[in-house]
C-alpha cells in the first residue's frame, strides 16, 4: 500500500512561508505601536541618570559643584558658583545642552546643584510628560548612593 507524503503533513516550504508571514505580521504590529509617553520618560530617565552620575564624578574630581538646569527644550550641566560666573573650559568638558527625547517633557524642580562632596544632600527629580495622558517618572539619590528611578 502506497502512502502519499503530502497526506502525512506539511512540507518544509509551507512551514517556512507560514513562519515568514508570522514574523512579518509581528514586525508590522510592533512598528505601528510606537513609544508610549511613559516608555519615552523611562528612556529619558535612564539617559539622565547616566548624565547625573557622570556629572557627580566630575564635580568630585574637580572639587567644583555643578548645576543641572532644565527648560522646555532640554537640559544642561554647568559649573555652579555663588556669583553665577561660568568657567568655559569646564562647561565644554561637562557638556553643553541636551534636548529632551520627547517634546513636552519637563522636570520639577528645574534646577539641581550637584555637590563636589562625596556625600551630599538627598536629591529628587520628577520628569513629567504632559500629553493626552500625563506621565511621570521620579529619580533620586539619598546623597550617598547612585541615582535611580524611584517607585
Cβ neighbours around 61 below 10 Å, total: 9
pLDDT of residue 68: 92
Q: Is CATH 3.55.40.10 the classification given to domain 37-150?
A: yes
For residues 19-32, average pLDDT: 88
pLDDT at 82 over 70: no
What was the pLDDT predicted at 134? 82
Are the C-beta atoms of residues 140 and 147 closer than 8 Å to each other?
yes
Summarize the confidence of residues 32-49 as an average pLDDT: 85
pLDDT of residue 135: 87
Give CA–CA dist 99/47, Å, rounded. 11
Which pLDDT band holds residue 52 (cuts at 50, 70, 90)? very high
Asked whether 73 and 106 are in contact (CB, 8 A), the reply is no
Whether the pLDDT of residue 93 is over 70: the answer is no
Is 102 a residue whose pLDDT tops 90?
no
Beta strand residue intervals within 47-104, DSSP E: 66-70, 74-79, 97-99
pLDDT on residue 85:
47
User: Mean pLDDT of all residues in the chain?
Assistant: 83
What does the pLDDT average to over 76-105? 68
Smallest CA-to-CA distance from 104 within 76, 81, 127, 80 is with 127
Residue 64 exposure: Cα atoms within 13 Å on the Cβ side: 18
Element (H, E) at 19: helix 12-33
Q: Residue 88: what pLDDT?
A: 47
Where in the chain are the domains?
37-150
pLDDT at residue 48 above 90?
A: yes
Q: Which one of 22-31, 44-53, 83-92 scores highest in mean pLDDT?
A: 44-53
* pLDDT for 151 beyond 60: yes
In angstroms, how far is CA 33 from the centroid of its own chain?
19
Mean pLDDT along residues 7-23? 89
What is the Cα–Cα distance from 143 to 123, expressed in whole angstroms?
A: 7
Amino acid at each position: 500500500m502506497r502512502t502519499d507524503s503530502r497526506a502525512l503533513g506539511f512540507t518544509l516550504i509551507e512551514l517556512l512561508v507560514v513562519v515568514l508571514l508570522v514574523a512579518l505580521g509581528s514586525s508590522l504590529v510592533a512598528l505601528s505601536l510606537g513609544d508610549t509617553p511613559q516608555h519615552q520618560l523611562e528612556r529619558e530617565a535612564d539617559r539622565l541618570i547616566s548624565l547625573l552620575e557622570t556629572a557627580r564624578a566630575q564635580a568630585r574630581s574637580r572639587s567644583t559643584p555643578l548645576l543641572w538646569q532644565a527648560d522646555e527644550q532640554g537640559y544642561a550641566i554647568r559649573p555652579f558658583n555663588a556669583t553665577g560666573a561660568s568657567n568655559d573650559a569646564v562647561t565644554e568638558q561637562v557638556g553643553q545642552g541636551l534636548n529632551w527625547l520627547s517634546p513636552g517633557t519637563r522636570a520639577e524642580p528645574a534646577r539641581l546643584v550637584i555637590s563636589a562632596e562625596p556625600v551630599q544632600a538627598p536629591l529628587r527629580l520628577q520628569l513629567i510628560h504632559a500629553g493626552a495622558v500625563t506621565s511621570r517618572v521620579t529619580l533620586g539619590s539619598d546623597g550617598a548612593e547612585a541615582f535611580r528611578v524611584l517607585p
